[in-house]
Amino acid sequence: MRVGAIAAASTLIVAIGGCGGHAAPTPHPDANADGHLDARDAAAEGRDVPAESPSPDVACNGEAGAKKAAGQACECAADCASNFCVDRVCCGTACTEACKTCSAPGSAGTCTLVVAGGTPRNETACVAAAASTCGFDGKCDGAGGCRRHVAGTICHAGTCDGAAVIGALACDGLGRCKAGPTTICAPYSCDATKGACFESCMQSNQCTSGQQCVNASCGEKMKGANCAKNADCASGFCADGVCCNVACQGGCVSCALPDRKGTCWPIDGGAADPRGICVDQGAASCGATGRCDGFGGCEDYAPETVCLAPTCTGTRRNTPGTCDGRGTCRPQGVQNCSPFLCANGACTQSCVVDGDCEAGHVCASGQCGKKSLGQPCAVSGECVSSTCVEGVCCDGACVGGCRSCALPSLRRRSAIPATSSTPARCSSPTVASRRCSRRSRR
């Protein structure tokens, strides 16, 4: 009875999940008791978190012969010709990563990265942590992963020192809380209760000495002060939430880096581009990885990254094409696997039967050896018989007249038929034919 109940329950589970077209995933070794991978653990190890499968009770209205193309609206996998219904559209692939989507404007049906600052489809991925941890902020980083609190986010408040804030710590965008700069509050004063500069004023004592509070403002702010718009700053530039020395536009630069606040500076290498300008172009391109290079540009795929997979043609292996580290995929090379074959992009290293070796070679003790009888050769060392006669591997030295090792049907020392004109060891084709014919009649 117990066995029957378990079997029935298993059948019901399979039936419910069938509409989605997904098999039950193999549990991750680090999964929790319920079989789910903890989002924070996964991201800390550099792994993305798959989105949860659609609810099994979603109605499936797909009809036989009416499968939908990629990009069309769907309710479950059975609706789609691709058998993948992702983000309510038919998708070309499973697209299970939390920070990828198949419904991006302009590319519906194609699995693409969620833009920097976008929301992951799975609420258990990229769980927001307190700014004090410099951990995830609940958003995607534009490179397929979870975004950490951006550079310049205060992770430990400072204290007031006159009209300045000292001792504050700030996130660096890579999950580290680092020493921050001294922040000049002028023309505002420092709020001792918060250890931060006043951002607006209600009375003049919230401004520095000599400044008046007019229309909730003490006047234009100095470089490095927090801002909301260009007009807030004496420099005329508000970038990344601070008054900046320049406009500081483009990818992989910031005006809010802890040790350079107020100065436009490159973001550390390996960090995701917070502006989402550096987009991962895929290893096949050898181009941008979606990360910053530390010099204000987009990081390219590292040298020796495989951009073209190895392929096989008989005993020839076309070696992988690899990136040169400067955005170019180097061409494939050629490797000779002889006397072994090439299979699945690699030279084989052992054999079981002769067919596992290059044509004509013998498999002996798991190794492809020398050529068998009758195979073309240039020197005797190529042959398992150690004898190469008349350009083929022969079973012996083949001495004497009217004998040959090159008769295609025999492949060993044989008397030349009376009707054959094969010269073998006779002096000429004409004479050979006459002599062999006379010998055969005697």
d(CA 388, CA 188): 97
d(CA 224, CA 183): 7
pLDDT at 63: 53
pLDDT at 408: 58
d(CA 376, CA 46): 55
d(CA 107, CA 298): 23
Q: How many CA atoms lie within 13 A of 270 on its CB side?
A: 4
Instruction: Point out the residues of the chain with pLDDT beneath 70.
Output: 1-65, 408-442
Cis bond upstream, residue 187 (ω within 30)? yes
Q: Which residue matches tokens 């991006």?
A: 104
Strand partners, 360: none
pLDDT at 378: 83
Residue 329: helix, strand or coil by DSSP? strand
pLDDT, tens digit, for every residue of 97-136? 999 999 988 888 989 888 888 899 888 889 999 999 999 9
d(CA 80, CA 68): 5
pLDDT at 134: 94
pLDDT, tens digit, for every residue of 372-404? 777 778 888 878 888 898 888 888 888 777 778
Encoding tokens for residue 42? Answer: 């996964």
pLDDT at 423: 47
- Domain residue limits, the chain: 1-113, 306-347, 375-441
Q: Which residue matches tokens 């009375």?
A: 203
d(CA 116, CA 126): 13
Burial class, 402, CB count within 10 angstroms (exposed 0-12 / middle 13-18 / buried 19+): buried
pLDDT at 238: 95
Instruction: State percent of the chain over pLDDT 70.
Output: 77
Amino acid at site 175: G
pLDDT at 198: 92
Q: Are 324 and 308 in contact (CB under 8 A)?
A: no
d(CA 203, CA 214): 8
Residue 15 phi, psi (nearest 5) = -65, -40
pLDDT, tens digit, for every residue of 63-106? 556 789 999 999 888 899 999 999 999 999 999 899 999 998 88
d(CA 137, CA 267): 18
Q: Residue 129: in which H helix or E strand, if any?
A: none
Task: Provide the terminal-to-terminal Cα distance of the chain, rounded to the nearest Å.
Answer: 92
Q: Are 310 and 345 in contact (CB under 8 A)?
A: yes
